[in-house]
Structure 1
Amino acid sequence: MIFSELVYRIPPVFDSFQGVVAAESTRHGGVSPAPFASLNVGINTTDTPENVAENRRRLFSSLQIDPDQVAASYQVHGDRILTVTQPGRFEGYDALMTNLPNHFLTVTVADCTPILIYDAGQRAVAAVHAGWRGTVARLVEKTVKAMHERFGTQPEECFAYVGTCIDQASFEVGPEVAEQFGETFKRFDPERQKFLIDLKAANMAQLLAAGIPATQIGVSPYSTVLHTQDYFSFRAENGNTGRMLAIIGLRSDFQ
């Protein structure tokens, strides 16, 4: 399925909110050659810095975001959460949150699960990067709790999106990983002699456990592995590929 060369897709769960910028990029519309073709926005790849910079410029421009308003972190598959008080590039955090307008939070993905959260009551946002380690660490649930403690967020006023990531049928793991997941989120494939993990369902369950209503949670229908014509997949492309960004923030002119 081709998205007509769309640079990004907007999660429908946020459609009705003026002033909320939320998107996840595709692999279309950039300048990078294969194997990064074409909108590789991953700084920590072996693509040239010039290509990545131009791709990021194109993505942010298409969203009408100033690159100087963007916050990002070098992700480490942990459970640390940063309250963003100024744009910039940080290190060691896999979740970012803020209630400041014109601060656009980003997480970088290429199989791991991006989760975007908007608190419509307190006007706060969060972006979470949850690979299997972050999922096991319950980072999404911890982020909602941190938003409550910092901003007064009430989960019933939140809207969330579980973004495009590796699908269950493609995410093969050994028993040492599988044993860290509940039975609901894994199944054993006797032909492959591997367990298959459902990261989307596991993170959806954490949002529900945190108190966000199911009717206020959107889930991407796409897979990084099954739809590599539109998304980058670290696993499907043997590690030599680009990265996408998931982005969320609030515009000041709608405060």
Structure 2
Amino acid sequence: MPERFFTDSILEPKIFAPFSNLVAAQSTRHGGVSEPPYETLNLGMTVGDARDKVLQNRKIFCHRLSISPERLAFSSQVHGETVLFATQPGSYEGFDALVTNRKNIFLMISIADCVPILIYDAQHQAAAAIHAGWRGTAANLVFKTLKMMQSLFGTDPTHCFAFIGVAIDKENYQVGEDVAKHFSAAFKQVDVSADGKFLLDLRAANAAQLGDFGIDRSQIEISPYSTYSHHRDFFSHRFSGGKTGRMMAIIGMR
């Protein structure tokens, strides 16, 4: 079994520590009330867990961050490239990235192997939460989200800080040629253990998009943890064979 690193319900990015008005975190799988295979802090409503347990878990998660569940803005995710400007909290449909410059709206995305990216524009007090699977990554969703923030809020890379959260690691993300062909050689390598397979580094590909926008590497934090390798602490869709819970990544300004 892999070593367990966490007992708390949240992981807080260090990159955002200087900003006292900012709420930013990624949940772990600990501290909730759900039963196997969703043990214990499952925050996803669409995975087969009991609704009352998920609602209680969301209250636990929000209480840990001292925010109200009624102030969350989130969307059903479709592995697309559409970005929502959230001006009100609530549930939306069909967006994999959300941005806002409104206080007390906390953007939330769901993950269980895909890459969560949280971005804060400290100059214009604006934030983004992005869910990037291979399709969103190949579609340059992170870069498109930043360009939308630039258009809406005047976002400049000099004042942006970003967190690339816990996601599946390259060593455990095996894909076929149909997926690998969408990525440059910098982000994939041939899997010598299986003919016609590749290992894909989604976190590096998304970090490159932050860099393409002009965000300096010193203003980007990349989590060293893996949903797959550290599945005792984080939900992994691939490790579990598809039956598991969901974590959330969240960002917003008080």
SS of corresponding position for 1:236: helix
Deviation at 1:4, TM superposition (A): 4.4
For residue 249 of structure 2, what is the aligned residue in structure 1?
246
For residue 36 of structure 2, what is the aligned residue in structure 1?
34
Tell me which of 208, 213, 217 is aligned to 1:214: 217
Aligned residue identity for 2:233: D
SS of corresponding position for 2:238: coil
Q: Is the 2:9–2:31 Cα contact (8 Å) retained in structure 1?
A: yes
Aligned residue identity for 1:220: S
Deviation at 1:2, TM superposition (A): 2.6
Runs of 4+ in 1 over 4 A off after TM superposition: none
Q: Using a 3 Å threshold, how does the CA distance of structure 1 residues 188 and 4 change in structure 2: closer, same or farther?
A: closer
Tell me which of 159, 162, 165 is aligned to 2:167: 165
- Asked if residue 131 in structure 1 is aligned to residue 130 in structure 2, the reply is no
Q: Is the 2:6–2:233 Cα contact (8 Å) retained in structure 1?
A: no
Tell me which of 48, 56, 59 is aligned to 2:58: 56
Q: Using a 3 Å threshold, how does the CA distance of structure 1 residues 36 and 123 change in structure 2: closer, same or farther?
A: same
Tell me which of 20, 23, 26 is aligned to 1:21: 23
Aligned residue identity for 1:197: L
Q: Using a 3 Å threshold, how does the CA distance of structure 1 residues 205 and 4 change in structure 2: closer, same or farther?
A: closer
For residue 190 of structure 2, what is the aligned residue in structure 1?
188
Long gaps (5+) in structure 2: none
Deviation at 1:5, TM superposition (A): 1.5
Tell me which of 224, 233, 236 is aligned to 1:233: 236
Q: CA RMSD in A?
A: 0.7
Aligned residue identity for 1:236: F
Long gaps (5+) in structure 1: none
How many matched pairs? 251
For residue 98 of structure 1, what is the aligned residue in structure 2?
100
Q: Is the 2:235–2:247 Cα contact (8 Å) retained in structure 1?
A: yes
Aligned residue identity for 2:33: V
For residue 68 of structure 1, what is the aligned residue in structure 2?
70
SS of corresponding position for 2:171: helix
Q: Deviations over 1:35-72 (max 9, x none)?
A: 00000000111000011000011000110010111000
For residue 203 of structure 1, what is the aligned residue in structure 2?
206
Deviation at 1:16, TM superposition (A): 1.1
Distance 1:82 1:191 in 2: 41
Aligned residue identity for 2:229: L
Distance 1:229 1:173 in 2: 23
Give me the TM-score of the superposition, normalised by structure 1. 0.97
SS of corresponding position for 1:235: helix
Aligned residue identity for 1:20: L
Distance 1:123 1:35 in 2: 39
Deviation at 1:155, TM superposition (A): 1.2
SS of corresponding position for 1:44: coil
Distance 1:208 1:66 in 2: 34
Distance 2:175 2:163 in 1: 25
Distance 1:39 1:141 in 2: 31
Distance 1:64 1:26 in 2: 17
Distance 1:191 1:47 in 2: 36
